[in-house]
Every structure is written in structure tokens, then in C-alpha cells.
Amino acid sequence: MNSDASKQNRLTILLPAGRLPLPVMAKAYELAERYGLEVYLSTLQNLRLMGLDEEQLAQARAELAPLGVDFKGPGKFPVPRVCIGKRDCSAGVQEPEELSRQLLAYFQDRGPFKPKIKIAISGCPFCCSGVKTTDIGIMGTKKGYDIYAGGKGGPNPVVGRRIVREADAAQVIRTVETLLSYHDVKTPKKQRLARLLGEPDFPFPEV
């Protein structure tokens, strides 16, 4: 086996709210230069180092961990995909980064969570982060957040069902908790939430 064929691994660094801290950026650049890696910014706002062999993978983890980095892995709470919010966008009416931070803090010691749930948060109804085509979509409005369930992309996209209007942060957290608990009960291994919308005991009606 040649050396290129042996480099099959990738390391995914989770970036809450899509923010890339400068020390992590610098270390990722250093590792990519050292090992000849590709750096990929995923549609879920994570950073991937691609093309690692087993030894390089272990070394990269060891060097990134002291920077407080969290890595993608089974059972973890899905880090929300987030738009830039009202501070940096003239259309913004809410700060999705802060809501994402609250969700991550609340769920960080819970789980494990089953795949393939995804979460998105937008700071306004333009939905730049794809809230209506995400399993759990949280859309900022002038009066709070509207919550959508069961959206998905792919070759047959589905627009989610609006289940809550004008929620505050506490209600958003309770709703996400209910949806994740329901998904866990109904899902043997992995499943998109869209497949559960038709269940008679789905916990939320359309509003």
C-alpha cells in the first residue's frame, strides 16, 4: 500500500456557532503544513483536517485538545448551524450565537444522542442557516423564535412543520429537549425527524 492510500482518516473539529478561534486556526494550519493535509470547512460549520494516517490522527488530537477543542463523535449533541445574527447583519432581529451557546451549555452533559438529528438557528426570517430544511429549525423573529420540526435537505427536500411561535430561550430549550427525547424513543439507530412527523403521538401539532 502506498503512503497516499494509507491516509484515509479525517479529524472534525466542532466550531460552535461557526466561530473559529485564532489559536485553533493557527494549530490547524500548522498541522496541515506539517502533514500535507486538506482543510475543509463543512456545511455544518465544522473544520475538518483530511488525509491523516493513524499516527498523524492521534498526534493532531493530542495537539488540539489543550486548546479546548471538541471533536465530532458518536452520541454528541448536534452543534447548531448558526447565521451571523443581528450584530453583523442588518436583517437580524435575534442573536442566534447566544441561543446556540445556551443550548450547548444545557445539553453538554446529557445524551448520548442518536443520529441523524441536525439543528439550525437563524437570526431572522430569511433563514440563511437553513432552519426550514433542518430537523430542528429555530427561526428568529421580532417577538422571539419560531420552531420548525422535520425539515431536511437531500434529493427530496422537506420543509419542516412549524410547531412553536414566538418562543423565548427557555421555551426553545424545552422544545428541543422534548423533540430529542421523542426521537430517541422512536429511533433504533439513526433516523431523520421528518420520518416521525406522521406518528400519532408526535408531541407537537402544526401552528
CB-based contacts of 119, cutoff 8 Å, min separation 6: 78, 79, 80, 81, 103, 134, 135, 136, 137, 138, 176
Pick from 123, 129, 77, 65: nearest CA to 99: 123
Per-residue model confidence as pLDDT tens digits over 15-29: 999 999 999 999 999
Pick from 146, 186, 144, 151: nearest CA to 168: 144
- Given pLDDT bands bounded at 50, 70 and 90, which one contains residue 101? very high
Per-residue model confidence as pLDDT tens digits over 157-200: 999 999 999 999 999 999 999 999 999 999 999 999 999 999 99
- Given pLDDT bands bounded at 50, 70 and 90, which one contains residue 206? very high
pTM exceeds cut of 0.85 = yes
In the DSSP assignment, the letter for residue 150 is S
